[in-house]
A and B are shown apart, each in its own frame.
Chain A
């Protein structure tokens, strides 16, 4: 299955709160899981990425948690700020042995952080 299922579709969080976005996949060939952030009128920008050999990766206020057995991964945004309001996409990359970088994107989560 070449799909990545993302939830929730939208999320409202108070300033200072924790935003959590979840993704699930079926294809065990996926071996690279990036998260992208997109602001209106802009292209997606890489936020953070993880490989399945680690269970967690943290960069500043952003953390990816990865559960290989459950085939799920999630993005946690700590101390959410109004400037974090954007659409977030999870993605997965099948292992083509380095031949290509064919990301499969989730459907996106529109995050609104209220001041």
Chain B
């Protein structure tokens, strides 16, 4: 068990809808990362937060946004959902930055119908 908790495990929704994915990092970890895993794109970095501040953005669509709260949990908001957004969304946490090990949760599987 990595210590990273993601909810929900599965999410089925319709096109055009908005969903929120939640992540609780390992105790003491200040960094939270979001990754998307799909068959055609593989594991893609979306965004990184460190102690409440956005540190880096990757291939994150404008329809997607994230935030990290004072208690360090994070939420990834996906809006105006399209069929192509169906994927596994992983949250990972690390104690610090600069090549520190990432600890991944078990992901949220999003299906857009």
Interface residues of A (CB under 8 A from B): 31-32, 34, 36, 41-46, 49, 51, 89, 93, 96-108
Contacts and interface: CB of A to CB of B under 8 A. Distances in A.
13 contacts: A34-B101, A43-B107, A44-B90, A44-B102, A45-B2, A46-B101, A93-B99, A96-B56, A99-B56, A101-B98, A101-B100, A104-B45, A108-B42
B98 to A, nearest CB: 3
B2 A43 contact: yes
The prevalent SS among residues of A at the interface is loop
B103 interface: yes
Contacts of B45: 102-104
A107 B56 CA distance: 22
A53 to B, nearest CB: 12
B29 to A, nearest CB: 11
B33 A101 contact: yes
Interface string B73-113: 00000000000000000101010011111111111000000
Contact of B106 (A41, A96, A100, A101): A41
Contact of A99 (B55, B94, B102, B104): B55
Contacts of A42: 106
B26 interface: no
